[in-house]
Amino acid sequence: MRNPASGICRALLGASLLWLSHVALAWDADTAITLAMERDEGLRALEQRRSALSERAVADGSLPDPEVMVGVEGVPVSDPFDADMMTMYKIGVRQRFPAGQTRELTRQRTGQEADTLAAEISARRLDIARETRTAWLDWASAWRSLEIAEQAAEAFEELEEITKARYRAGTGRQRDVDQARMELALLERRILVKRTGVDEAASRLARWTGGHPDVAPEGSLELLEKPEALAHLQRRLANHPILLAGDHRVEAGITETRLAHQAYRPSWMVEAGYAHTRGMNPMTMSRQSDKLFAMVSFSVPLFTADRQDRRLSAARSDLRAVNHERGLELQRFKGELSRQHSLWQSQDQQLEWMQSRVLTSAEATVESTLSAYRADRASFDELVRARLALLDQQLETINIRQARTAATIELAWLTAENLP
């Protein structure tokens, strides 16, 4: 007679294969990161902003556009359309020169803002790599858990066959057969839950890569190498793009302070031109000679209390604030680095214990209990408990491995390791 529970399990496995046939792609973590980099709109936006600042820096270092002057001077009020000896038609050019090193410092400040964005682009790439690795890890771990659960279901199918064979031989109980079917049904429901978890994790991964992974994850759950000692990692914190962006903001703040100092210097303006006269000299009755003119003017920053002084004070306050923010980021990074390193060590110790002691003991217990059950020296309840204990410890091992790898991902992000 065909076993209904076995048929259900085969149906579940068939549904799993059908589900796999509807997904599109297969990749490892590195491939997922490449796909995420290619489609991230935030990264493109930052690159465009950096390009804009690079162009603006050149423009900020240029002189203001020259001004052309066209006018008339000495027009008679009594007859505006006539001209006398004082009337001049003038055309000239005016050029303004900003105070001191204003142009150079403005160009320098804009360039430093572009450097800040370049660091933010690197930080964005790090964020994408971290989020994609984490999403891939969640998906791969969920898949591994599903595989373990399906293997356990196959083992319980074998247990069911054993209980039925013993019952037919008169050495077993109908209760054992029923319990085997119940445990298999409960495990099949557990498989459904695991499959839902795989689907949800794949959807989170698709948020970065744009597509669902296919079949099974490629590669190990160990995405990165074992981290170095904490002291070595702390020395590499300064290379993180977020902290480098803070350094560039400090440099821009210093430049802004120097720029505020330039307001205490005069700005200049030079004019030169040509004046044409149409009036007649009444003494000689000849046309007045044309004229050339030139002029230099400059500002006189006498009243600085409410403008220059205030702007310089504001620039200095902004610079102090940026320095404090950079220090706060470094403090936060150091604390998080220490926490993640301790977490990695804890998970690593747990994983070593699980692999060397717990899993070995659980597998040995299953084998010995199964042999004892075949020899009628152990109850089926003991065999079920041993098999479920092995399953739980196998799943817990995957969870510990996932947590350890997640800590490695965070450490790699904090130290800008393997910057894409």
Give the DSSP letter string of 210-244.
SS-B-SS--S-S--SPPP--HHHHHHTGGG-HHHH
78 has pLDDT over 90:
no
Q: How many angstroms separate the CA atoms of 414 and 126, rounded? A: 9
The predicted structure's pLDDT at residue 285:
67
Q: What is the pTM of this model?
A: 0.80
Q: How many angstroms separate the CA atoms of 276 and 73, rounded? A: 10
Give the mean pLDDT of 106-120.
93
% of the chain surpassing 70 pLDDT = 89
The predicted structure's pLDDT at residue 217:
79
Residue 160 CB contacts under 8 Å (≥ 6 apart), including other chains: 3, 5, 6, 177, 180, 181, 184
Residue linked to tokens 């209760």: 175
The predicted structure's pLDDT at residue 13:
44
How many angstroms separate the Cα of 242 from the Cα of each of 49, 124, 197, 249? Answer: 17, 9, 34, 11
User: Would you say how long the chain is, in residues?
Assistant: 420
What kind and span of H or E run contains 282?
A: none
The predicted structure's pLDDT at residue 81:
64
Give the mean pLDDT of 92-101.
92
Structural tokens at position 351: 């994983």
Q: What is the pLDDT of residues 187-242, one digit of tens each?
A: 999 999 999 999 999 999 999 988 877 667 777 777 778 888 989 999 888 889 99
The predicted structure's pLDDT at residue 162:
84
302 pLDDT band, cuts 50/70/90, is confident
The predicted structure's pLDDT at residue 281:
67
Strands (E), 29-140: 67-73, 88-97
394 has pLDDT over 50:
yes
Q: What is the pLDDT of residues 366-383, one digit of tens each?
A: 999 988 988 888 888 888
pLDDT-wise least confident of 101-110, 286-295, 332-341, 398-407:
286-295
Q: How many angstroms separate the CA atoms of 315 and 332, rounded? A: 26
The predicted structure's pLDDT at residue 2:
41
47, 57 in Cβ contact below 8 A? Answer: no
The whole-chain average pLDDT of the chain stands at 86
Q: Checking DSSP bridges between strand 88-97 and strand 286-287, what pairing results, if any?
A: unpaired
The predicted structure's pLDDT at residue 344:
94
pLDDT-wise least confident of 155-164, 291-300, 336-345:
155-164
The predicted structure's pLDDT at residue 16:
44
The predicted structure's pLDDT at residue 249:
94
- Which residue stretches of 288-358 are H helix? 308-353
Q: How many angstroms separate the CA atoms of 267 and 62, rounded? A: 15
